[in-house]
Amino acid sequence: MSGQYSQFNQQQTTLKTHSSGLKAKQIRVALVQLLAPDTDYHTRLLASRRLARYGPDALPLILQTLSAHEEITEPEWPWWPPQYEHCSRLLLHLSQKAALPLEALLQHPAIETPPGPVLWISVIEAAELQGEPRYEALFREGLNTPWTTVRYAAALALVTRARNVTLDRATIQALYTHQHPEEAFPVRLTTAYALLNSREYAGLGTLLQLLHPHTPPEVRKASLFLLATEMPLNLSINQREQLAISLIQSLYDTDMELALQAAHALSMISPPSVLPPLSEMLRSPRPRLQLVALTALEEITRKDTMRRMIRSYSLPTEIQRLLKSPVDEVRRQAAYTLAACGGEYVKAVFGTIMLHPEHPAYVEAIEGMRLLHGALRASNRRHIVRWLLGPLQQHDEHIQVTALDSLAYLLYLARNQGKKKALQDISQLITQNPVILELLNDPSAWVRQRTLELLGMLWNPHAMFITPHAQILRLLLNDPDSGVRACAAFVCGHIGARWAIPALIQALLDHDEHVAQTAFHSLCQLTSTDDPLFNAVVHELSYLGPSESGEPHSLMVAAQEHLKQTQRTRKRP
């Protein structure tokens, strides 16, 4: 018997050893999938979940593997390796299950050598997910590691922390030690960002140094992005002037994206000293410089004081000359910038151009007038609407659509800003002009559709406009363009046109599926299944067969969903 027990125990030990070996093999396979650079997101997620299910027993092998893995440097900065998102969440889960603080994972007995970069970053990002104050010391320690990626991860964690709380003085001193030129650009940039979030303006000096032309383009773009989005508000006059000088130099950069980012950053500080250099750029024969200067001036006009100074410097006169530029983009930006400047001079410029359709910037002026500063004021809106109604009589599709879009934008602004008087005046001026109804018969489907959209914006409960019922119904049922028919169906629902219900029911038979769907949604807006006729229509649609492609008919799906929603609503107390 004793021999049988001994044999049984030996078999059990063999099974446990085999099971343990199989488990370790499965863990290693999952870790390979987790850490491989070419693993897709879904597979990496499944691998991390599989490892999490093994629980704390798998922690030693996971820590050993992460610590021994070489530094991950692909993809290159500013991109970040995707492995860390899953590694960090995995370590956070396992540390909580094992009741271990995250910093203890770096000194785990399973790790015989100092922890490697992948483990370091995974622990840092896991600690960042928790956001507890005690981990600031861990981030500070990460700044002293020999790997660039680890120092960068630690600096990013401190950036996030500095937004919410005041960093310890020891941490700020540690950030200062990474501002020297020998430090890697990503670490130097990020530690400067953390200092800026801590109101340490030495970080601003580092960002300005990184704008030097010899700095790699990606670093300069990142510096400008931070200056444009994270600019401290309480800069001194000298700091603003110093920053403006650096940004104006960046406006001349050959990289257009970088130059436009500098233009945006310049608008955040915009001291008066920037206006003469921008005026000089406007006089440059190079369209690229003209475009950058116009963009910078447009953004600067957001401040009322600077808008008035731009007018006093007579910069609108310089900008007006660019409306005759042979470059379309320059003319368009010049119109936008003039509109942002506003004032009587700009209004006169636009009004004069409206009298001369042959002007090179005729279309650009039509587009720019919708953005004119103060366009909704009583002294401006009547002139602007009359000027925009004029181009509608020209037989040019592009001009007509641009004018219709500008009128629609003015209506949108008036409604969005709650200016009922402006909305009423603009609507009245539009409907009093017979050209609007004539455009419903225009040969261009684009013009007919835009006209319908404009008419749909005019109607509101307080308006007393005569609705062109017959023309809208004709477009809904008989227009040769499906886009126009769908637009007519949408407008009927939008304006609450119950008189259109019979035509909308007929439009459900439209051969274009999009038109039929739009008609159904408009009917749902105008009535309900309490209406016997609509109830019968919905039930009939719910029994439609498959479409020509063999898929369930979209109207059948919509009708069935509508019936289910109605039933749920009725069951609610």
Q: How confident is the model at residue 185 (pLDDT cuts 50, 70, 90)?
A: very high
Confidence of residue 540 (pLDDT cuts 50, 70, 90): confident
Q: Assign residue 551 a region: left if phi > 0, alpha if psi is -120 to 50, beta otherwise?
A: beta
Please report the pLDDT score of residue 13 as a whole number. Answer: 44
For position 459, what pLDDT does the model report? 60
Residue 149 · residue 129 · CB < 8 Å: no
**pLDDT tens sequence across 365-377:** 999 999 999 999 9
pLDDT range class, residue 449, cuts 50, 70, 90: very high
Distance (Å, rounded) from C-alpha 546 to C-alpha 531? 27
Cα dihedral 196, 192, 212, 248, rounded to 10, equals -10
Separation of alpha carbons 539 and 517, rounded Å: 15
Sign of the dihedral through C-alpha 289, 295, 297, 299: negative
> Cα–Cα distance between 549 and 300 in angstroms, integer?
55
Euclidean distance between CA atoms 232 and 226, whole angstroms: 10
CA dist., res. 214 & res. 570, Å (int): 69
**pLDDT for the residue numbered 130:** 86
Lowest-pLDDT range of 185-194, 427-436, 478-487: 427-436
What is the Cα–Cα distance from 140 to 169, expressed in whole angstroms?
A: 11
Mean pLDDT of 139-158: 94
Distance, CA of 291 to chain centre: 23
Q: Does the pLDDT value for residue 24 go beyond 90?
A: no
| Residue 460 pLDDT level (bands cut at 50, 70, 90) | low
pTM, two decimal places = 0.79
pLDDT, greater one: 195 or 235? 195
**What pLDDT does 528 receive?**
82
Q: How many residues does the chain have?
A: 573
Query: Alpha carbon of 156 to those of 124, 149, 159, 243: distances in Å?
Result: 10, 11, 5, 24
135-144, 170-179, 279-288, 456-465: range with lowest mean pLDDT = 456-465
- Whether 93 and 124 have beta carbons less than 8 Å apart is answered as no
- The pLDDT score that the predictor gives to residue 466 is 62
Which ranges of 80-184 does DSSP label H, i.e. alpha helix?
83-97, 117-130, 136-142, 148-164, 169-176
The answer on pLDDT for 568 being more than 80 is no
Helix (H) or strand (E) holding 14: helix 2-35
Calculate the average pLDDT of the chain. 88
Question: For position 19, what pLDDT does the model report?
Answer: 43
Distance of alpha carbon 293 from alpha carbon 513, whole angstroms: 48
The residue that leads in pLDDT, 73 or 572, is 73
- What CA–CA distance (Å, rounded) separates 151 from 142? 6
pLDDT at position 152 over 90 = yes
Residue with tokens 């979030």: 197
